Amino acid sequence: MAEAYQRYLDPEVLNQIRHLEVTARNVVEGFLAGMHRSPYHGFSVEFAQHREYVQGDDLRFLDWKAFAKSDKYYIKQYEEETNFRAIIVLDSSESMRYSSGDLPSKMDYGRYMAASLAYLIQKQSDAAGLALFDEKMHDWVPPATSQVTLMRMLAMMHDRKPEKKTNIGEVLVDVAQRAGRRGLVMIISDLFDDLNHLKKGLEHLVARKHDVIVFNVMDPMEREFSFDRLTQFLGMEGYPDLLVDPRSLRKAYLEEVSAFTAGVRRVCLRARADFQLMDTSMPLGVALQAYLARRTGTRA
């Protein structure tokens, strides 16, 4: 477990996203506040603790009294606020095994990403859970705030070998059913499945008031298809092999990928889910930072 911990929680990545702590939280809060502002106001929130103000915090929660005493800005945190639930849904189908060159496989990239996000969420005392799936959901870790849960999540991700086909639609329905009350569902997958299945799954999540973020993980080679000589492509997830000159096929392939990406975007948009393409050649910290920054900008 310690090994998994060290492996997936890269200090450098964590350092890069450390300052996003509030931002990430703000994402959820802002998101929920924006989306479900009135329910929050009706809650009987209980003060839990103070934390230091960082740029971007809502000034409404600034504790002016504490500022007067200590000459420092503190934000008041409430129990209800910290009780936000995030479920990370990580694809572990065979297609996630793919990697080009020295880049991490999509699976590894997803693991880093899931681990980092879970760590970040738990670090701010929120609950993070995990669902690992391919054709079906194999591992389920209910959202919790304990470090034990984080360790368990990391161990599961470490032990899961990418294999079998993807069936994301059924899995998301299952997640929606298991997740209980509403929260944030972060899907990390290459989404190589029927878009109708994805659509069906997203609709279930959204119907249960979950906020959904879809991280579409792709290898740059999958997006650019920059092979330059005769290649035999060995199919994954049961697809046949194909010996072909990729140069003559590139244009048509890119059109297919482009159509697929556009389709995913369209499905996400219709399901009111957020969509983010994650290129495995991008450093994870940078990619997350960019995404969260963009998300903050758009949701603020």
Report the interface residues with other proteins, using CB under 8 A.
Answer: 94-98, 106, 190, 192, 219, 222, 224-237, 239-240, 242-245, 247-250, 252-253, 255-257, 260
Closer residue to other proteins (CB): 75 or 90: 90
Neighbours of 40 (CB within 10 A): 14
Q: Least separation, in Å, of the C-beta of 244 and other proteins?
A: 6
Closer residue to other proteins (CB): 5 or 253: 253
The C-alpha angle with vertex 237 and arms to 235 and 243, in degrees rounded to 5, equals: 10
Closer residue to other proteins (CB): 106 or 111: 106
Q: Least separation, in Å, of the C-beta of 194 and other proteins?
A: 10
Q: Least separation, in Å, of the C-beta of 256 and other proteins?
A: 4
- 213 φ/ψ angles, rounded to the nearest 5 degrees: -120, 125
Residue type, 55: Q
Closer residue to other proteins (CB): 99 or 289: 99
Closer residue to other proteins (CB): 121 or 187: 187
Q: Least separation, in Å, of the C-beta of 231 and other proteins?
A: 5
DSSP for 68-134, written as a single string: HHHSS-EEEEEHHHHT-EEEEEEE-SGGGG---TTSPPHHHHHHHHHHHHHHHHHHTT-EEEEEEES
Q: Are 143 and 127 in contact (CB under 8 A)?
A: yes
Q: Least separation, in Å, of the C-beta of 286 and other proteins?
A: 18
Placement of tokens 């991700």 in the chain? 157
